Structure 1
């Protein structure tokens, strides 16, 4: 099992027989985050917003700080070029998702995270320790992999690597209850989540294949701490599909099609006649300049058409439509789902019935709510100041 010992976390070989199916969990970010670890790494990276990492590639005898276990000399093992390539690619992929930058450095003293392949990890208490993450005495992390135990199982070795690196980013085991939020209230590692749910799990994978990258649950937790990377596009026409976690897409010129997927996305069309879609989650959508089509999808979205003549659909959920300049149409304003309009405090408005539709007239232009009756629209409930 993994234990918290002098701010050290150790990874021990899992049992072969899993006794309860929890595969397919949606795990809240807080249930995968250790606040102390988060604060420690935030402090380590506060100066420049970069997490520097060091790989002890050559192997051999080396002195390590050892955190709560004390300074010691270990006989490390060289990290193969293939494992270096994997680890660096994993970090680069993570860099493209998180609003945290990563940089490989050439010596341990310059790094926030040091990685060693060790010949043995002995922290007492029995058990077969595969990995260890501990805070060093100089404001960083030291990660250790028990190489002889995973030498001939590349997939498992990579799982141990990403697991230990996850600790240095603030992730905790799903069964950790010290902060009162073990997943499903389960504190037995062998009854808790699967690796397919989180790479911080102990169980053997339900699918039989060890993950080699953070899961969607892990990424949502990491984004909650470090933020999502902003993707800025150029003046060509762009088509972009989001992922199962929070995305930030900023269009520029061109008639773009920008689609969020899951997570609380921020999507902005920019210039051009764009299609902006939120997908699942509480999204923040902005059409920008041009005649845009905006669709919120599922969730309580905030939608701003921007300038131009925009067509807007909130989708399902109680949405907030911000009144913007131009002649906009909201095609599915639903009183039953508590949709609302947002307006700046200095802007006056007038309501007018036009056939089956309700028009909201301001100095910015006219916003038409399809199929809404003035008699059912209570402005004091439906129009809020933003």
Structure 2
């Protein structure tokens, strides 16, 4: 990698060579004096993080103070490291401010979302022709991407598999465009490198792009194609469902020759929405716009009279399936919010019960 590429990746030749580093991060880091260095999380393991710094790629653990408060960095985070290189030791002591955060609801936790990646500019939602194409799943992905603060782009991979088949995929692709609104939709083949040039407008120096999608849709193959050599393990496509076998097991950050930063993610099996209420209106912007013409401002678009949304369904402007999906995701968000509130109340109840027991114990000792 030459100096020109290094300058592209750090946005400014006067700043440290850390992919995506900028003046705002430099200002935040300036509060740290002494043996501290900045870095960016490349890979996250159970208790160890790989971090790219000016010294190269290092491994570090998090400080006891961060562990105590449950503060953990994710891939893409910019962090502050305590540099004890004389002891061959590096410790993450803080996470610098995030510009975006991709997360999803955690099925096993009542109150907190599961963080996936941070400081992402654009997110490629990767699907594939055949069995994986699912409009309702794409709506879920769009919801969590919009809520993250990143810009979504939909990639329809494996279009080479449609050659010679009687079914024309163009109708399905149009259906995706109909629900995508102004989100770019690109059909390509990572394996044959067909239409990869259509990704060029999104791949800019120091920009960070994350890939999300189901297992086997070709995310790792796309990374390999863009890097022009194999860095991610891939497997053959299964004949029964057109999917590649699951290969990516950890999130990882890659640097492209032009300075673009890519984050590959393992396939997401279950897309819990978590706190994605901000993303619903943007994902269903057509319904949101129609709702402005409803008779009642708080119209639920179910049984109210003079509902502009239901009238649009009757007229074929939007499909019943899309409205059903809108209701389903809103109901799910409401349920998650109620569940979180119940969970927090349970925590508070347990907390005050513990305090009461402690007071009772202290009182008994004084007697």
TM-score category of the 2 structures, normalised to the smaller one: under 0.3
Compare relative contact order (CA 8 Å, sep 6+) and give the higher one, 1 or 2.
2
Relative to its length, the structure with more helix (as a share) is 2
**Could you tell me the TM-score, scaled by structure 2's length?**
0.26
Relative to its length, the structure with more strand (as a share) is 1
Structure with bigger gyration radius: 1
**Could you tell me the TM-score, scaled by structure 1's length?**
0.25
